Structure 1
Amino acid sequence: MVDAGIKITRNLKVGALDAETDSSLLDKCFVDKGDLDELLDVSNPAAVVLGRTGSGKSALIHKIETSADHCSRLDPNDISVRFLEHSDIIKFFDALDIKLDLFYKLLWRHLLVVEILKLRYDIRNEQDGKRFTDGIFSWLRRDKAKKKAIEYFNEWGDKFWLDTDEHLREITSKLENDTKASIGAKYSGVSLSIDGVEKLSEQERTEIRQRASQVVNGLQIKKLNEVLELLALYSFDDNQKKFYIVIDQLDENWANTSTRCRFIRALIEEIKSFRKIETVKIIAALRKDLLDLVYDQTRDSGFQEEKYEAYMLELKWSTEELTKLVELRINEVFRVQYTKEVVSLDHIFPKPKKGGGQTAIGFILERTLRRPRDVLQFVNEAFNIASERERVSWRALISAEANYSEKRLKSLKEEWGEMYPSFEDTVEILRGLPSTFSRSAINQDRLNDVFIALSEAHNNDPCVKMVHSYFEAKSVKDTDVLYAILQCLYRVGAIGVKVSSLDTFLWAHIDQSSVSKGEVKRSSHLKIHKMLYRALDIETEDKSMFVT
């Protein structure tokens, strides 16, 4: 029997909403869904952890770091990619319309090679670096076939101890010097910058473009191919020792959108390349919507998305797994404060509603996108309302829903701000609608209000672009704008769609992540997600939700 004196104390929480702050509870209350074993298995290609914000990507990365004997973290914020964006030589190549995809791959490969060598040989300073290179040179000289690898270590051997930021600057400086050498004395007076390109004639641009392209295509990526093979034979041949490099925070604003997409695509390519070293695994965490954006912005001829599927591990949570997560955390926070006995959901939450039979945890989960962060946020709100009481009542749960719903709407705006910067205006088309509605429920007045709000914005939001085309009479109908808005609302998880009367509702967080214009057009009914009922004043027939 659990102590009768337990109480929901002021500021009691079942966890913070970010993995960094939540590390203590995360370690004690980790729900093993099998994802950790897949990622730690170096023979398993799954290496890109995919999920929406709050789905547990960073928590899983943290668990890998604490579980593996040899693991290092690379933070994109430490790589100073913004330095590249402001670099004259990079602007020079952009002005000449020369693709730098190979250069970005080279950067990642070099940074990753350096990082795994630091991890393997405990290289922390210049002396450690010299000790390593002396050892590898003595072995390399016996094999003349490794000429390119020798060249690479000759060039970089004394720099392995440098920070990633310094490495990036060294490689960029080399690109600039190689370019100067390539264009030769004839163009020695040309400034390798945007200004320099603007002063060139078309014929001069063409010639310099050809020469500069040869520099990019001739980068030492071939040397690094041999280096990977060499490392597999010489440094990472012990199957009992596994090495991991983890990369998180790729979702953050560490570079502009275009550069970030190119860099992430290059990283995914390099994760594939490092499969050559059987005891090494590069693992990255990435938002699903950001991956879609990467594919859209870097898609070239011959691109096949299915070639990357084996490397993706998408995080999905079942009702049972989320329930277990909440139970483990509730038991842990009450164990620390009150009792060593097990405290379950039944001890803290109200009994099922009369008549309907819905459980409290069922009520909570229906108002989430089935992600740990959503569930923990709702439980924390409920604890806040029920502060100083022995348990959460239905009244407290309903009150908590109002606060939670407002925060969920705000979180959606933040989560999708890069792709849909005007989402705050777009979502207003749902305000006050019935929970389930047809397109005809969106009358012209409602449509016009949203159109006007979107027309005042000037950004890359697809809905804004469509509205501008509509007002500029570019063969865009008001229904076309409506379809774009509904596609946006589906993608962010605000609505579900029923494509035909015989189908069930589709949801982005459960079924397919996006719907086509044709699917929206055929939709017989649409349904607003329960997480937004209170924030958007949605009409509902469920009067039982106001029970006391």
Structure 2
Amino acid sequence: MSNKSGAFVFVKHDSIGANDADMDDHFLRDCFEDTGDVDVLADLNKSKNKCIVVGRTGAGKTALLSELGRRFPDRVIRVRPETLSLNYVSNSNTIQLLTRAGLNLDPFYKLLWRHVLAVTVLQIQFDIANADAQKSLFTRIMEHFESSDVRQRRQHERKRHKRVVEYLSRWGSSFFEAPDVRTQEVTKTFERQIEDEVGDDSTLSAMIGADAASLSANIGQSDAHSETTVESHQEVVRVQKKVQQAVDSILVQQLSGIVDLLDEVLDDPQKPVYLTVDRLDEDWVVDDEVRLRLLKGLLDTAREFVRIRHCKLVVALRLDLMHRLFRKLRSETGFQEDKYKSLRVPLSWNKRQLESLLNKRIERLVRDRYTKQRVTFEDILPARVRPQGTRRVSTIDYMMERTWMRPRDLIEFLNTCIDAAEGTPKITKAMLLESEGRYSLRCLRALAEEWHGDFPLLSHHIKLLLSQKPSRFVLGKITAEDVMNWALECDQSDANPRSRLHEMAVRYCHSDGDSNIEQRIRAQVASVFFRVGVVGLKLVSHQRTLWAGHDVPNISPAEIDDTATVAIHPALWRVLGTVEVDFD
């Protein structure tokens, strides 16, 4: 290293980039590692349907969309969910009433996304900054349609053009407004039309909201009331059906024309438009039910935008959030998960790609101040490392084993090592092993944050059940005492009752005479820990150890018994006090 870089030493605040891609532009511009995914997203022909980028936290979703924007700076429109005032939707009394009544509002959420995105495209594409520019747009579009009518002379085309112009006229007032105004306009319009068709909120509440509780109470009464109860139930169903028909009628009318509008207007193959939506794992909507419905509406919109020849809607979605959405939807009639599989661009990395990414960032860090010569991880890291009492391995392999094969993990690990190397030109073995402890703690905290929506207090469960365990052990070695101590801790805590782990612990504490409950608890805990990436599982002796990923996102508790081998992820060994045992 010293031969290449002269007086180079690491200084305070040195790093090879930020964990957050939005804060990492300095490195991303020059150090983007091209795995071929950008070309897939940019392709509007054979990969036209590839529009949902899926990956775990830190897999590079935001970096990928940022690179798409750099390659097509004038063609990419970034849509930020936090600017759309979507909490206005969740706070709508009408939406709340219809949702509680069990009505299907998926068409409304699709309408909302279609409208907001269509208006965004038209505003930017035609530079609509004020009402005068808006009128000019109307004129240009109508002239385009009229000339098209003359050329094609087809009756069905004229009808379609008429619907598009009607759509523009109906929603035109919001073209030059901020995005949050468009969201509110769609919601308010829907509320007004529901009121015209059905009645105001008080009437709506009386029609569909009052009867579920009273109906349940009547069911438990004497046979003399059974006929009345059945009749009441039938009346509630009739009213709900009437309201649903009114909702569907309103939305179907308004949904028609939006996609056709964009396909007609975006008619230049040399000027494609890419809409990108990211940061969907953040708190852009408070109500979780509305948030998941909005997500489904967005994915459905991305699928329908495939019909627009010169436009693609690209959505970046965290893997756990997609699984949570699909778990909710599987119980609903008509949901077909396979419809979304062909849309996915799953992000994954191999060792060669991660090494290349690491080298680009190291070279950029050193080049900025010291040398134009190429510098790699081999110049700043020891060749091999051997923790006390374990096998000797190459340093890069050692670091890779302690990641989930994601860029963020490797960047975080090396940045922690660089902090320890301040004032020196190289990272020593002692520095690396000392830094691993801090990195391991950060990994546990990051897992807890990533999965907080599904498993509050995840790190607490992990430490209670896995601390001081061997790196590999048979599941049945989690003893009855371990399970009892874990369950009592959970039962006495204030954990969110929606957590599956917490509910399992409470059931265990209050079970009576169930001889198999401990085995079921172990299987269920192993299934959760596998899903979040804390452990790998070998279900039978002749198979390899499985780790959660795109191919195997989860393993059912029914597939796991006490003979399964549990492998704790090496990233967590230091924070859990794990004792390494021989690998198979």
Range of TM-score over shorter length? over 0.9
Aligned position for 1:540: 580
Give the letter for the 2:265 counterpart.
Answer: S
> Are residue 524 (structure 1) and residue 564 (structure 2) matched?
yes
1:527 CA displacement: 0.7
On the 8 A contact 2:107/2:251 being kept in 1, the answer is no
Residues 206 and 526 of structure 1, relative CA distance in 2, 3 Å threshold: closer
On the 8 A contact 1:422/1:464 being kept in 2, the answer is no
On the 8 A contact 1:238/1:279 being kept in 2, the answer is yes
On the 8 A contact 1:433/1:538 being kept in 2, the answer is yes
Return 5+ residue gaps in structure 1 as ranges: 543-548
Q: Where in structure 2 are the equivalents of 1:113-512 lying within 5 Å?
A: 113-140=118-145, 142=149, 144-146=158-160, 147-183=162-198, 190-192=202-204, 197-198=209-210, 206=237, 208-232=239-263, 234-255=264-285, 256-299=287-330, 300-353=332-385, 358-428=393-463, 429-456=465-492, 457-473=495-511, 477-509=517-549, 512=552
Give the letter for the 1:434 counterpart.
Answer: P
Secondary structure of residue in 2 paired with 1:274 = helix
1:99-135 CA distance string (max 9 Å, x none): 2111101111111111221232122222222211122
Q: Distance in 1 between matches of 2:10 and 2:201?
A: 74
* Number of residue pairs the alignment of both structures matches: 538
Secondary structure of residue in 2 paired with 1:521 = coil
Give the letter for the 1:11 counterpart.
Answer: H
1:310-330 CA distance string (max 9 Å, x none): 110111010011111111000
Secondary structure of residue in 1 paired with 2:366 = helix
From 108, 130, 147, the counterpart of 2:113: 108
Q: Distance in 1 between matches of 2:437 and 2:508?
A: 36
1:64-104 CA distance string (max 9 Å, x none): 11211311111111122211111111122123221211110
On the 8 A contact 1:421/1:459 being kept in 2, the answer is no
Q: Distance in 2 between matches of 1:463 and 1:480?
A: 12
On the 8 A contact 2:130/2:176 being kept in 1, the answer is yes
Farther off after superposition, 18-27 or 147-156? 147-156
RMSD: 2.3
Query: How does the TM-score come out when normalised to structure 1?
Result: 0.93
Q: Distance in 1 between matches of 2:143 and 2:368?
A: 57
Aligned position for 2:30: 28
1:304 CA displacement: 2.3
Aligned position for 1:88: 93
Q: Distance in 2 between matches of 1:389 and 1:510?
A: 41
Query: How does the TM-score come out when normalised to structure 2?
Result: 0.87
Q: Distance in 2 between matches of 1:523 and 1:101?
A: 45
1:192 CA displacement: 4.8
Farther off after superposition, 520-529 or 99-108? 520-529
Give the letter for the 1:55 counterpart.
Answer: A
Q: Distance in 2 between matches of 1:515 and 1:96?
A: 34
> Are residue 18 (structure 1) and residue 32 (structure 2) matched?
no
1:488 CA displacement: 1.1
1:161-216 CA distance string (max 9 Å, x none): 22221111111111121112112xxx569355589944999587556533421232
Return 5+ residue gaps in structure 2 as ranges: 150-156, 215-231
Aligned position for 1:546: none
On the 8 A contact 1:70/1:119 being kept in 2, the answer is no
Secondary structure of residue in 2 paired with 1:190 = helix
Aligned position for 1:60: 64
Q: Distance in 2 between matches of 1:120 and 1:534?
A: 53
Give the letter for the 1:216 counterpart.
Answer: V
Secondary structure of residue in 2 paired with 1:281 = strand
Residues 194 and 260 of structure 1, relative CA distance in 2, 3 Å threshold: farther
Farther off after superposition, 58-67 or 397-406? 58-67
Q: Distance in 1 between matches of 2:201 and 2:282?
A: 39
On the 8 A contact 1:54/1:372 being kept in 2, the answer is yes
1:354-406 CA distance string (max 9 Å, x none): 79552211111110001111000000011111111110011111001000001
Farther off after superposition, 342-351 or 22-31? 342-351
